[in-house]
Structure 1
Amino acid sequence: MSIIKIRSLNTLVIIYFASLSCNSQEKFTKHVKNEKQLNVVLILLDDQGYDTSVDGTKGINTPVFDAFSKSGMRFTNSYASVPSCSPSRSSINTGMFPHANGHWRNTITPKLSDPDVFFGTESKTVDAVGVHEYIKTLPEILKENGFFTAITQKFHMSPPWKFPYSDRNPVHNNPKEYKKVIAEFIDKSGDQPFFFQANISPPHRNFDANMNEFPEFMADPNAITVPDYLPDTPLMRKDLSKYFGCIQLADACAGAIIETLKAKGVYENTLIIFTSDQGQPYHRAKASAYSEGLHVPFAVVGPNVSKANVSEALISHVDIMPTILDFLHLPIPETVQGKSLLPVFSGKEKSVNGRKYVFGEHNSHGPNPKEHYPSRIIFDGQFYFIKNLMPNKDYLLPADLSDVKGWNNRSYEATVNAQFTHPKQYNLLRLLESGRPAEELYDMKNDPYQLVNLAENEKYKAKKEELLKALILWRNETGDVADNPAKIKARQVSQ
């Protein structure tokens, strides 16, 4: 064999082993990348108020949320920005309050089972109300940065092209199906980091549909405690027990999601936020500015999150987007009105950027003008102030808060029937529909269900003035012109 041939053979051998080395290095690098790759999962329940066993609610068992919060951090003062589904979800995905991002009421949107064309600019399902085009949404930013994004249960945000998820699946209440769907999402993400908005439909009404399908989660009507703003009657207990049962079903669905993340080996590198879009599906809660409509459970687990920690920090759903972007080391748009919660998650800070107040609002649940009742709220951790912008206007309760047909809501009927046995609760319902005062002030430590309005009490005058001043400042800073028709018209023309 000639020297040239020997050299050629040696060269081939060197190239071969170098190739093996490169492939091994590539696989190793890929492995290391995946190990360090950061992901986010937002578990979002539908209409669950601050009702979990770890938070002290009697007659309910939420083992998944309880264990999850103990392995991470739980917040006792977490508030949705608005008590209606669509604007709450758009608020989460823009980090902005509904009056600022343009998505101020529930909207008609495509179903997740609809074809792709329904989610583009040629969509046949587009509501007149939606997020302004100039605002960057969380799914848009993540898509631009190479993330695989997916959503379950329902879309409910407008316009659809502002929320470009990579994949969609309508799974909504079945724990076994959630395991399958989340596993498929992870597989489809491949080498991409991922973000899943894992929406779960319970405990949104109709309760009966869920309890008939999963009767094993039904709660005992005799074991629960009826909230003071509702009458304690057999019919109300029956309705509430179904609500609690749906919460227990939702807890199991969340457990299936968390279990799948662990089984797929991505749990340790994933920030998981576990909360609800708004509060209880009852009158004087959902679709109202009262605390029961905005106060929601909130727990988080993930890298650098303090363990077994309970925080009283005032946090808002507008903080979710900036927190996620901060966690992923991505820039936060200037339009965002919330703050990153990472310093609080780590235990380094006890409050969010020195925050003294949390804010919220209600505008209209649906497009019906009779459902329009704009209110603004401010809460300092003890005192809760509501400013009703149209106090002389009558208010029509949304159908799911009053109708038996279609929604099987028996709570409204139970309250009306209790006019003489529970006059306080009955009068609260009637006041909700007509005759609310312009200002309401409540001491949440001594009156958690907001039964006694202190707004005209001279003893609390200084506190009311303090909160009103801070509320006005917030409204000015965030461009809230809900009670100024001239400014609303001028803004619509400019946009």
Structure 2
Amino acid sequence: MPPTPRRLFRMIACLFALASLMLGSAMADQRPNVLWIVLDDLGPEIGCFGTPHVSTPAMDRLCSEGVRYTQCYSTSPVCSSSRSALVTGMYQTSIGAHHHRTRQMKPLPEGVQTVMQQFGDAGYFVCDLKPPGVKGKAKRDYNFIADDDLFHGNDWSQRRDGQPFFAQVQIHEPHRPFVQDGDPERADKLTLPPNVPDHPVTRADMANYLASVEKGDKHVAAILDRLDAEGLRENTLIMLFGDHGRPHVWGKQWLYDEGIHTPLIVAGPMIDNPGTSSDALVSLIDVAPTCLRAANITPHARTEGVNILAADFKGREFVFAARDRCGEAADRIRAIRDTRYKYIRNFHPDRPYTQTSSYKQLSYPVVTLLEVLHAEGKLAPEAARMMQKTRPAEELYDLSADPDELHNLAENPEYQSTLKRMRTQLNQWIETSGDQGAIREGDQAYHDAITAEKRKWYENTQRKRGLDPNVSADQYLEWWKKELRLSTP
């Protein structure tokens, strides 16, 4: 069977890259290694980003050696669609990878290559791995079909002598389930956001999240120590980030900043001003083209990312994000953000914030807490908003005055010009980027099958916990209190 045009092109590119290596290995050896350190579900809750009551010495050390980008946002608030955009430098909505773990994966559009393919074609050894001492396969989680295996191996030690590498180190933490916090006083010291109940369950859950961030930091330390021991630090461009924001209500799977804001730390030989901070607006789709440019590789022509290390880069005017089906919760939400305002469009305003989500029901104790307190009429308005049966079609927030996105200004007469500007920009992006969100993912039978699958998973998990799948919210909350090691009255 003759090779496809795309595969033939890659074969030719590989031959050219091999010839280049053979004729000028000394020059090739000078190219930097590139390392991505990706922490699952990591928001900016680390020490060097100003979060108190968390100890992250390894990430703080990396900050002191590089640049921390305080305004970095993912294109999606869930892993598979965010990672699909990350490795292609294209919005997941542009390449049909926007539904979380779709059962209808397609090949990438013509002319689109992954960052792994581009580094591999240029002669790099490409690998994905877990931190030292952590077993199992590294996470990939892409919503597209690849022509070939995207990686050459699972460790850069497998490369040829002197061959530069492009590596992704995948760290599970702080993804749920969280580790149990060992600090008995931390929960009481925390300042909680106003959109959640100030309750021992919320405090314990947040403390466990920070403890999980600290566990992730220990893995970062092991990676940095290995680079130092192997003499690789000086010639390795390191980018550390989360695949999206933190896994809490209003966070993961939502387009509020909690769901898409992630730290970005860049360190290595291209950084002339270590220990500095940048407030430039950046997107995770900028990571791949930036690294390719650093290695003197031209990104594929269709990339939608930009080089944030370019001398003339001053920050994006806007970043865009999208949320589509997650689990059994079918949805379509789009957002645009500049340095001050956030505009969100809910394409299905008739649906509640709390659509059925087996993942969240099984993993988020605060979801159950909200149900109980809402039934008792004890929720403050900021938190009660989550329990509304419908959503506004449009949301607008002035982030300078309202960083927690509590006060929707979409109907405020004083902000109509801003609303129109942000609405127009989002419309243009939807059109020019080829947003495929309006295309139905599958027929009703397809969605019914996903719902049945998730329901079965939910029921089996609850039975393993010794709970009736139809447990009441009050009884379920008592189970969560025990899990969180809280005394019950």
Gaps of 5+ in 2: 1-23, 130-137, 444-489
Distance 1:133 1:33, change over 3 A: closer
Residue 425 of structure 1: CA displacement?
A: 4.3
Establish whether residue 376 from structure 1 lines up as the match of residue 334 from structure 2: yes
Question: RMSD over aligned Cα, in angstroms?
Answer: 2.4
Residue 79 (structure 2) aligned to one of 73, 76, 85: 85
Q: 1:385 aligns with which of 309, 333, 343?
A: 343
- 1:56 corresponds to: 50
| In 2, Cα distance between equivalents of 1:218 and 1:400 | 28
C-alpha distance in structure 2 between counterparts of 1:398 and 1:195, whole Å: 36
TM-score after normalising by structure 2 = 0.78
Residue 128 of structure 1 aligns to a residue in which SS? coil
Q: Counterpart of 1:202? A: 173
Deviations 1:124-183, CA, capped at 9 Å, x for gaps: xxx422452522111112222221111133121144535511123xxxxxxxxxxxxxxx
Deviation at 1:464, TM superposition (A): 0.9
Instruction: Please state whether the residue corresponding to 1:342 is helix, strand or coil.
Output: coil
Following TM superposition, by how much is the alpha carbon of 1:32 offset from its aligned partner in structure 2, in angstroms?
Answer: 7.7
Mark the structure with the bigger radius of gyration. 1
Counterpart mapping for 1:72-471 below 5 A: 72-107=66-101, 127-134=103-110, 135-152=112-129, 153-159=138-144, 161-162=146-147, 164-168=150-154, 185-186=156-157, 188-207=159-178, 210-211=179-180, 220-305=186-271, 306-343=273-310, 348-349=311-312, 351-352=314-315, 355-366=316-327, 368=328, 371-394=329-352, 396-403=355-362, 407=363, 409-419=364-374, 420-431=377-388, 434-471=389-426
Deviation sequence 1:98-119 (CA, Å, 0-9, x none): 11011112227xxxxxxxxxxx
Letter in 2 for 1:144: D
Correspondence for 1:8: none
Tell me how far apart the structure 2 counterparts of residues 161 and 71 of structure 1 sit (CA, whole Å).
35
Q: Residues 218, 294 of structure 1: CA spacing in aligned structure 2 closer, same or farther, 3 A cutoff?
A: farther
Closer, same or farther in 2 for the Cα pair 1:464/1:389, shift >3 Å? Answer: same
The alignment partner of 1:76 has SS state of strand
State the partner residue of 2:9: none
Q: Identify unmatched segments of 5+ residues in structure 1.
A: 1-28, 109-126, 169-183, 489-495
What is the total number of aligned residue pairs between the two structures?
A: 406
SS state at 1:58 partner: coil
CA contact (8 A) 2:43 2:262 kept: yes
Note if contact 1:86-1:157 (Cα within 8 Å) is conserved in structure 2: yes
> Aligned pair 1:39/2:33, yes or no?
yes
Alpha-carbon contact 1:103-1:131 (below 8 Å) kept: no
**1:317: Cα distance to partner?**
0.8
> For residue 12 of structure 2, what is the aligned residue in structure 1?
none
Provide the rounded CA distance (Å) in 1 between the counterparts of 2:217 and 2:107: 30
Residues 129 and 139 of structure 1, relative CA distance in 2, 3 Å threshold:
same
The aligned counterpart of 1:14 is: none
Distance 1:217 1:255, change over 3 A: farther
Identity of aligned residues (%): 28
SS in 1 for 2:400: coil
Aligned residues of 2:128 and 2:169 also touching (Cα < 8 A): yes
Q: Distance in 2 between matches of 1:474 and 1:258?
A: 39
Alpha carbons of 1:158 and 1:338: their partners in 2 closer, same or farther (altered >3 Å)?
same
Q: Please tell me whether the aligned partners of residues 85 and 156 of structure 1 are also in contact (alpha carbons under 8 angstroms).
A: yes
Give the letter aligned to residue 356 of structure 1: E
Residue 387 of structure 1: CA displacement?
1.1
Matched-pair contact (CA < 8 Å) for 2:186–2:207: yes
Query: How many angstroms does 1:282 deviate by?
Result: 1.4
Please state how far the C-alpha of 1:424 moved relative to its aligned partner: 2.1
Structure 1 segments, 4+ long, off by >6 Å, are 29-32
Change in 2 beyond 3 A, CA 1:333/1:350: closer
In 2, are the aligned partners of 1:95 and 1:318 still within 8 Å (CA)?
A: yes
CA–CA distance in structure 1, aligned partners of residues 258 and 107 of structure 2: 26
What amino acid does structure 2 have at the position aligned with 1:81?
T
Deviation at residue 30 of structure 1 after TM alignment: 6.6
CA distance in 2, matches of 1:294, 1:397: 21
Give, in whole Å, the separation in 2 of the partners of 1:106 and 1:459.
37
- Determine if contact 2:31/2:295 at 8 Å carries over to the other structure: no
Q: Distance in 1 between matches of 2:183 and 2:73?
A: 27
Does the Cα contact within 8 Å between 2:84 and 2:144 map onto a contact in 1?
Answer: no
Please state whether the residue corresponding to 1:87 is helix, strand or coil: helix
